[in-house]
Amino acid sequence: MIAGVLVFLGTAAPALADDPPTPPRAVAAPRGIPATPSGGSYEQLISFAKDTARDLGAMQQQARDVAAERNDAFAQISTLSALTGKPSAVRDRLEREALRLSATTKIPSATTVSPATREAADEMRSLRVELKEQYVELQAEAVALAPYAVIAPPNGAWMTPAEGELTQGFGRTTYRGEPSGVYGGVYYSHFHEGIDIGAEMYSPVVAAAPGRVVWVGHLPDGAMVVLIAHIGGLVSLYAHLDDGIAPPRVAAGDEVQQGQIIAAIGMTGMTTGPHLHFAVWRDGELIDPESLLAH
């Protein structure tokens, strides 16, 4: 009986104040996000960062989908409000009467309206309630997912995270202080997972690309690090940061932009001098950071 009105709901209409949606409520972060590790295990920490980077893209798409559904529900609520305020837009007399009655809390008696009109009004009243409940639920999800919607993807080359001299490159090394490792299926007795940039103490360290900070703290060896997840399954690690005079300026959950100062050069952990250790993973695999940096 309300098919004609439902056709109207598929079209855009301005929002009116006579039938406003229920105000949104704040909710906790979306479910399914793993608990942040303590940092007691380097392997666990890196695994967590990799998983976070992998999920960022999916969370961003989910945020956009939920926002679109919420906007659609609001548009339908607004259309009902507009039709209620201007019933002449509905040609069918029964539908016009049902629309009017559905906007009131008083249910008419069977003696004042026909059974068909009463049934149509009940259906329309249920539709109003359902749309409002849907909007409230979607708005709550949109609020929780909003931080993921605004994360920018890396655009072009990454910035060098610190100004200084490249003191050690990525890959195989003769320096015995580096642990063994397997890269590209090949075992190396000593392997350097990133690049080292020597610089003066307390020199600024910046985010090499936009992303979301997933962890800030000390590794088991005492090194202060910042881990950032990026759209595209990328993770960047900034290590040996100062933790005293110039501790990190960011915390887990912060959105950062390319070039934003996140910390300062330090000597925390196992290091022979002030420098930044910078490492990058793509889809869970180590890559040479220099392959991303502008030269």
Whether the model clears a pTM of 0.75, i.e. scores above it, the answer is: no
Q: Within this chain, do residues 141 and 7 fall inside the same structural domain, yes or no? A: yes
Is residue 42 in a domain?
yes
Q: Within this chain, do residues 179 and 243 fall inside the same structural domain, yes or no? A: yes
Final residue belonging to a domain, choices 114, 149, 184: 149
Q: Within this chain, do residues 126 and 171 fall inside the same structural domain, yes or no? A: no
pLDDT at 198 over 60: yes
Nearest to 50 by CA among 291, 283, 295: 283
pLDDT one-digit tens code per residue, 42-58: 888 888 988 888 888 88
Is residue 158 in a domain?
no
Q: Within this chain, do residues 128 and 96 fall inside the same structural domain, yes or no? A: yes
Residue 147 confidence (pLDDT)? 77
Is residue 84 in a domain?
yes
Nearest to 124 by CA among 70, 80, 73: 80
Domain that includes residue 195, residue range:
165-291
Final residue belonging to a domain, choices 120, 149, 178: 149
Q: Give the lowest-confidence range in 62-66, 144-148, 166-170, 282-286.
A: 144-148
Q: Within this chain, do residues 246 and 188 fall inside the same structural domain, yes or no? A: yes
pLDDT one-digit tens code per residue, 131-158: 999 999 999 998 888 877 877 777 778 9
Contact 121, 98 (CB under 8 A): yes
Q: Within this chain, do residues 13 and 136 fall inside the same structural domain, yes or no? A: yes
The region that residue 29 occupies, defined by phi over 0 for left and psi between -120 and 50 for alpha, beta otherwise, is beta
Residue with tokens 């003769």: 174
Is residue 218 in a domain?
yes
Query: What are the beta bridge partners of residue 181?
Result: 188
Final residue belonging to a domain, choices 124, 149, 174: 149
Higher-confidence residue of 121 and 46: namely 46
